[in-house]
Structure 1
Amino acid sequence: MPDWSYQTIFRPLLFRLPAKLARDFTLQAMGSLSRIPGGSFIIRTMGHMEASPILESKLAGIPLRYPVGLSSGLDPNGTAHKALAQFGLGFIEIGPVTIEEHTSSSIVIQRDSPNEAIIYSDAGINEGLHQMVARLRAKQGHGLPLMLRIKSTPGCTPLQARKELLAMMEALSYYAASFYIETLDANWALADTIAHLQALQQEARMLPTVKPMLLYIPLDYPLEALEQLMELIKLEQAWSGAVIGDTIRTAEGDWTGRAAKPLTLDKVRCVRLYNRSASFSLIASGGIHQPLDALELMDEGADYVQINSGLVYSGPGLPKRINEAVIYEKIRGEEEPLPASFWLNWGWMCFLGIGMIVGGFLAWVIAATVVVLPYDISFLGMEPRILDQANPLVLQFMSHDRVTLAGTMISIGILYYQLARHGLSKGQHWTKIALFTSAAVGFTSFFLFLGHGYFDPLHALVSLLLLPMFILSMRGIKERPSWERPNLVNDRTWRLAQWGQLMMVTLGISLAIGGIVISTVGITQVFVPQDLTYLCMTPTMLNEINERLLPLIAHDRAGFGGALFSDAIAMLTIALWGINQGQRWLWWTFLLGGLPGFIAGLSVHLTIGYTDFIHLLPAYFALMLYVFGLVFLYPYLMKGQKNPRAGLLPNANYPKS
């Protein structure tokens, strides 16, 4: 459920359901998908979060791949943790856990959509220590560090709270990467609070297994009390860090949402003012609904962020977007490395693309004029004029297959050239995967030509010439982060682009299905009913004209289907992974890469009079997706965005890896 499908389809539908039902349904669906064979691969493919050494860090000695964590309130039972772990998360919070079970006869969740907020009837509901141990004993399905938030019973004395917390730490230490200690009580005297925290830290060191401890600071803990506490106790001398919570207790319930960011900023500033040690980790989790929110909290001293309501309102792509923003913030201001040598790798892919373009133009000219080549005539043992006398529609039908193949070849060539020139040359990981997958499919599809016993020497020669270029283009690629500023805000342009991305992804999937269907038909029954209606003949009648005619036509159809599938893979991977604000070359790639295929396919059908509506309906549908996709993506890709962080120094007050 990437952002392009969540924002456009799933969120409007889910928000029509009661909040709790929508949450449970979504988590159950995601969890079920992650558990089926290949489910995790599908999730990773849809999001394609690239791990980067730039993002790697250690929180109190715990290795983290990403600086973004998942708040416990979003999936309290861990139903979809395996799926969510694929979204670019570095750690997962679990809790709160209390010594005794805390339940409610009526669990209610409300949405405040205009304010992008969620209200839980009681965010402290949990199954208790015993059941939590039993649940954690089961296989988690992922390898992310678990940050267990343990909470003392509200209203208890500091001594009682300490006993509960120590008991929970001892029971849960095997499963916890670290503990979030939720024990601050605004009703305790300041001296009692300080004594309690110091005693807890000392006694925790005596446990059989010692894990890092971070003080959990509720979002609604009075700022004045927090300032007094920070003045009198140096957390950095005894604690591994602190966590700023994301909920506020109100008359309606526990509230969390976008408006929590100012409160979170205040507490981040307060804690960081008195705890500046680099070894003291500060985690912020309230009000993060777009990458800019995370960056602003990090600018004020947060090392990590956790997301809750932001995932509901912004979509599952939020962790990936934050990660990309953090990478950019860490490298901006540095000099961008020069592109790799043209002859090292990417130049060969440019040559391959140019070769496909030139070959496609030549094939188009031939298909629109003589149609068949000498080796085709030799294979048939029949001159074109004789075939034309037997049925003048046969050569026109063959022309229609070959022109569409030629247009597809040109489209592939343009896509390959653009991906190599603007992506592979800069070491972009996703362009390498896109080119490798598409080209591998394209070269493999050569064998489809042999399905009916016809060997195409020209196609074989072209494949032999282009294959070394493909191999050379895949060698020695040094992957690098992008120096292009990513999108930071959930504005109208971004939301419109989600529709554009949906159109292009759907187009890629549709073309892939079309390629598979055409190839399958080509190597099996050769024709669809509309083809035979146009030809006014049956396969048997065609076979009577020349028994080698069907293999020749089948070879054309299978080849076109394979080329279309290869083209679709390139288009689909660009739409899934490449779209980023201000990437003008991507919009031109979509435009120029799609035009030859549509022009060839539609013009040849009109030229030969093959205008059956049902036959052309998939082409009309694809054209509609293509046009709307270009329109919706234009502002996002071509106009870029105003920099909301203009004037800030690169890497200023930024967390270190």
Structure 2
Amino acid sequence: MPDWSYHPLFKPWLSTLPGNAGREFIHRGMSTIAKFPGGRTFIEFLGHMSPSEKLHGNLFGLQFSSPVGLSGKIDPQLSGIEAFPNLGFGAIEVGPITKFPREPKTAGSLSITNDALILPEHAETIGLNATKNKLTKSRTVPVLIRLEEPQIIAEHLKDTGDAFIIEIDSIESIDDLTHIKTVLENKPVLLAIRHSAVADNLLKVKSASQFVDGIMIEEDRKLTAGTQVLPLQQTDGLIHALNMIKNEIDLPVVTSGGVAEPADALDLFEAGAELVFLSGGYVASGPGLPKRINEALLDKLGDERNELPGWIWYWLFGLFILIGGALVLFFSFTKVILFYDEAFMQMTRLELMAYNPNLYKFMSHDRMTLAGTMISGGFIYMQLALHGIRYGIHWARKAFNIGAITGFLGIILFFSDSVISTGCTVCSGSFCFLFTSWAT
């Protein structure tokens, strides 16, 4: 679901639904669409969210299509697991997973000021068996499973996840960690710690780092009245903790949460984060956030844009539409009535003016309307071609093609009825304007 529909349409309405109904409605809806034949293509058509191949990478022996992941806090029911890979995410975190399901005592929500995510103090979980059932299907991105009870459930999930996350508070000794690593058959294990706890636990993290494959630095939280409050923007704290760990430990470091805008993610990547997992920022900013981060990262990396062969024909199409509109505008100021108008009405221009001058003025206005639509539409086509299609931006090409097709339908109808022609051309211009607004 792209931002253009999420913010004005779905977010205000879903926030009024009781409990977690809004979250489940949107997640289940997206997953249902993704399961249908052509569903993933339809989601891509609406949002244009597929990461560039230039962002693909390898970490922990796993292939990631994007360095942006989704935190398990966002989808505890795993109801959106089918759809999230289509939104620009390169990895999905699942969990925390416990042996038995745990119902939330409060519903998740954004704070009134939209600057924090509020979740139950004890995270909602669907339990071991339901998790295994949800993750049996093939997937297109790596899944990292967070084990809340690693000593109990690691054995049961070793074949389900691609990598595993263990919180530092859930292990009592290094022996526990080595045992879990053995049970998981040496699959990648990340040690998770909140950024506010890094300074006090740096020695423990350093000792444990010999037996794990990476460190996950997480957003901080404030516990209050049975809930945990997670401020959306925590970049400074994450970067400070990341620098401390990087100075002491030679392991890949990923972060989770604390990102509200693409600039926050870029700061974390620049500080040395290998992956960035989104939590509350995804809810507040919208499903387009991973896409915007991916695009910003490409710009930061100095992505070279290659020109698409044949783009000039798109630009010339727009130019000819604009020139045609200018000619129509000229006739609307001068002759107004053309030969085919006289043939259709079986009246000359002078006879029409004598019959009803207002009808003549109406036709002049009609011509001006058509001219304005053609000139503005031609200009938009030229800009789409010059700044979008030229560099292979697919949303621009789709907008152009759909607008042009509907426009040509209007031109065909023009020869049978000029009034219908004007209406169809206006519609085509509206379509084009609508699609050009789908940049994010």
For normalisation by structure 2, the TM-score amounts to: 0.85
Aligned residue pairs, count: 439
Return 5+ residue gaps in structure 1 as ranges. Answer: 154-160, 450-455, 457-550, 579-657
Aligned to 2:80: 80
Aligned to 1:437: 402
Separation of aligned partners in 2, 1:300 and 1:315:
25
Cα separation, partners in 2 of 1:130 and 1:345, compared to 1, 3 Å: closer
Separation of aligned partners in 2, 1:202 and 1:36:
39
How far residue 14 of structure 1 moved from its aligned partner, in angstroms, is 5.1
Separation of aligned partners in 2, 1:319 and 1:361:
42
Once the two structures are superposed, residues 131-177 of structure 1 have per-residue CA deviations (whole angstroms, 9 ceiling, x without a partner) of 2223334x58x633322222226xxxxxxx2xx2441234xx1x42x
Separation of aligned partners in 2, 1:50 and 1:132:
26
Aligned to 2:140: 143
Q: Is the 8 A contact 2:155 2:184 kept in 1?
A: no
Once the two structures are superposed, residues 601-646 of structure 1 have per-residue CA deviations (whole angstroms, 9 ceiling, x without a partner) of xxxxxxxxxxxxxxxxxxxxxxxxxxxxxxxxxxxxxxxxxxxxxx
Aligned to 1:575: 437
How far residue 89 of structure 1 moved from its aligned partner, in angstroms, is 1.3
How far residue 352 of structure 1 moved from its aligned partner, in angstroms, is 2.9
Q: Is the 8 A contact 1:116 1:258 kept in 2?
A: yes
Give secondary structure in 1 for the equivalent of 2:438: helix
Give secondary structure in 1 for the equivalent of 2:301: helix
Q: How does 1:555-566 map to 2 (within 5 A)?
A: 555-566=417-428
Give secondary structure in 2 for the equivalent of 1:265: helix
Q: Is the 8 A contact 2:69 2:275 kept in 1?
A: yes
Q: How does 1:264-279 map to 2 (within 5 A)?
A: 264-276=238-250
Matched, 1:103 2:87: no
How far residue 26 of structure 1 moved from its aligned partner, in angstroms, is 4.4
Separation of aligned partners in 2, 1:568 and 1:38:
26
Cα separation, partners in 2 of 1:42 and 1:123, compared to 1, 3 Å: farther
Separation of aligned partners in 1, 2:372 and 2:126:
61
Aligned to 1:286: 257
Cα separation, partners in 2 of 1:186 and 1:270, compared to 1, 3 Å: farther
Cα separation, partners in 2 of 1:226 and 1:299, compared to 1, 3 Å: farther
For normalisation by structure 1, the TM-score amounts to: 0.59
Separation of aligned partners in 2, 1:268 and 1:166:
27
Matched, 1:244 2:217: yes
Once the two structures are superposed, residues 72-114 of structure 1 have per-residue CA deviations (whole angstroms, 9 ceiling, x without a partner) of 111111223344433221121111112x204247344354344
Give secondary structure in 2 for the equivalent of 1:356: helix
* Larger Cα-atom Rg: 1
Question: Residue type matched to 1:323 in 2?
Answer: N
Question: Residue type matched to 2:245 in 1?
Answer: V
Separation of aligned partners in 1, 2:390 and 2:105:
58
Separation of aligned partners in 2, 1:110 and 1:575:
29
Separation of aligned partners in 1, 2:290 and 2:269:
15
**Please, which of 147, 151, 157 is the counterpart of residue 169 of structure 1?**
157
Question: Residue type matched to 1:568 in 2?
Answer: S
Cα separation, partners in 2 of 1:224 and 1:372, compared to 1, 3 Å: closer
Cα separation, partners in 2 of 1:194 and 1:433, compared to 1, 3 Å: same
Q: How does 1:631-650 map to 2 (within 5 A)?
A: none
How far residue 71 of structure 1 moved from its aligned partner, in angstroms, is 0.8
Aligned to 2:174: 194
Separation of aligned partners in 2, 1:135 and 1:306:
21
Question: Residue type matched to 1:198 in 2?
Answer: T
Matched, 1:330 2:285: no
Name the structure where helix makes up a greater proportion of residues.
1
Question: Residue type matched to 1:116 in 2?
Answer: D
Q: Is the 8 A contact 1:283 1:303 kept in 2?
A: yes
Cα separation, partners in 2 of 1:6 and 1:128, compared to 1, 3 Å: closer
Give secondary structure in 2 for the equivalent of 1:81: coil
Aligned to 1:303: 274
Aligned to 1:132: 131
Name the structure where strand makes up a greater proportion of residues.
2
Give secondary structure in 2 for the equivalent of 1:325: helix
Once the two structures are superposed, residues 555-580 of structure 1 have per-residue CA deviations (whole angstroms, 9 ceiling, x without a partner) of 212322332233223222222217xx
Separation of aligned partners in 2, 1:314 and 1:14:
15
Percent identity over the alignment? 30
Q: Is the 8 A contact 1:356 1:410 kept in 2?
A: yes
How far residue 218 of structure 1 moved from its aligned partner, in angstroms, is 3.3
Q: How does 1:445-464 map to 2 (within 5 A)?
A: 445-449=410-414, 456=415
Cα separation, partners in 2 of 1:399 and 1:32, compared to 1, 3 Å: farther
Aligned to 2:228: 254
Give secondary structure in 2 for the equivalent of 1:101: coil
Separation of aligned partners in 2, 1:40 and 1:5:
17
Cα separation, partners in 2 of 1:558 and 1:275, compared to 1, 3 Å: farther
Aligned to 1:373: 338
Q: Is the 8 A contact 1:69 1:89 kept in 2?
A: yes
Cα separation, partners in 2 of 1:309 and 1:270, compared to 1, 3 Å: same
Separation of aligned partners in 2, 1:394 and 1:301:
71
Aligned to 1:406: 371
Give secondary structure in 1 for the equivalent of 2:439: helix
Aligned to 1:519: none
Aligned to 1:628: none
The Cα RMSD (Å) is 3.5
Separation of aligned partners in 2, 1:37 and 1:275:
46
Question: Residue type matched to 1:90 in 2?
Answer: G
Once the two structures are superposed, residues 432-455 of structure 1 have per-residue CA deviations (whole angstroms, 9 ceiling, x without a partner) of 333233223333444334xxxxxx
Separation of aligned partners in 1, 2:56 and 2:393:
19
Give secondary structure in 2 for the equivalent of 1:72: coil
